[in-house]
Amino acid sequence: MATGIDISEFIVASPDICNARPRIAGTRITIQSLVMDHKTGMSAEAIAKEYPQLSLAQIYSALAYYHANKEQIEADIDAYLADCEDWESRYRAGEL
């Protein structure tokens, strides 16, 4: 009988990497990044083509993690988008 893979091993968070945001183990690819792609309509397969270093299992694990921790990941996305808006505003105002 084949042994299964513990998908929780695919997701890690470290205080000193990616601002402690959850990410795919062994990479700096955050769950937030993959979810943002998925929310634009990209399928897991399309995301895999954009990130060939990831397996479909890793991508599906990221999406499962998102659904299990939706409030946290949505807060990360909101904070990221607010930062982007702030930087854009400052750039347009000539502050950068």
Domains and CATH numbers, the chain: 12-92 (1.10.10.10)
**Whole-prediction pTM value?**
0.84
The angle subtended at Cα 13 by Cα 21 and Cα 23, nearest 5°, is: 65
Cα distances from 59 to residues 30, 92, 94, in angstroms, run 11, 36, 39
The angle subtended at Cα 89 by Cα 78 and Cα 41, nearest 5°, is: 40
Residue 76 has pLDDT above 80, yes or no: yes
Mean pLDDT estimate for the chain: 92
Q: Sign of dihedral through CA atoms 78, 67, 6, 46?
A: negative
pLDDT-above-90 percentage for the chain: 83
